[in-house]
């Protein structure tokens, strides 16, 4: 099962590289969204591997409400580009 997690870490490196290299702010936001989803899914996988329900609940909460910050930031950046 460790192999699954290693593969997920490698998949996580792709949007991190994208966020580092691409200067376009919306590409960075896309990479941010990708990383936010991937990390919370990884938390869920770890919780299932260990059978730890406390981590599982935290993973579900991060997955469901963590993207609200992304929405707010996207709105501010959109307003900035319009002005």
Partner 1 sequence: MNDSYIYVIVALLPLAAVMLTVQVNPYNALVIRGILGGVAALVYAVLGAADVALTEALVGTMLTTTLYAVAVRSSLVMQIGVLKDELGETDDRSPFFQLIADLQTIGSKYHLRLELLPYPNPQSLHRALIEKEVHVTCIERSHEDEHDSAEIESGRQPYHTAVRIHRLYDILQTELASPATTLTYVTATDSGEKH
Nearest approach in angstroms of CB 14 to partner 1 is 13
- Per the CB < 8 A criterion, the answer to whether 35 and 12 are in contact is yes
Q: Cβ distance 49 to 1 under 8 Å?
A: yes
Q: Token pair of 46, please? A: 């770890």
Cβ atoms of residues 45 and 6 within 8 Å: no
Beta carbon of residue 15, minimum distance to partner 1 (angstroms, whole number): 8
Q: Cβ(74)–Cβ(29) under 8 Å?
A: yes
For residue 43, the minimal CB distance to partner 1 (Å) is 4
Residues of this chain that interact with partner 1 (CB under 8 A) are 2, 5-6, 9, 12, 16, 19-20, 23, 25, 28-29, 31-32, 35-36, 39-40, 42-43, 46-47, 52, 54-55, 57-59, 61-62, 65-66, 68-70, 72-73, 76-77, 79-80, 83
């Amino acid at each position: 099962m460790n192999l699954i997690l290693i593969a997920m870490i490698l998949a996580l490196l792709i949007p991190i590289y994208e966020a580092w290299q691409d200067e376009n702010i919306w590409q960075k936001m896309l990479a941010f969204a990708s990383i936010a989803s991937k990390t919370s899914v990884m938390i869920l996988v770890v919780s299932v591997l260990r059978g730890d329900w406390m981590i599982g609940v935290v993973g579900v909460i991060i997955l469901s409400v963590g993207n609200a910050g992304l929405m707010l930031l996207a709105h501010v950046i959109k307003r900035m580009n319009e002005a």
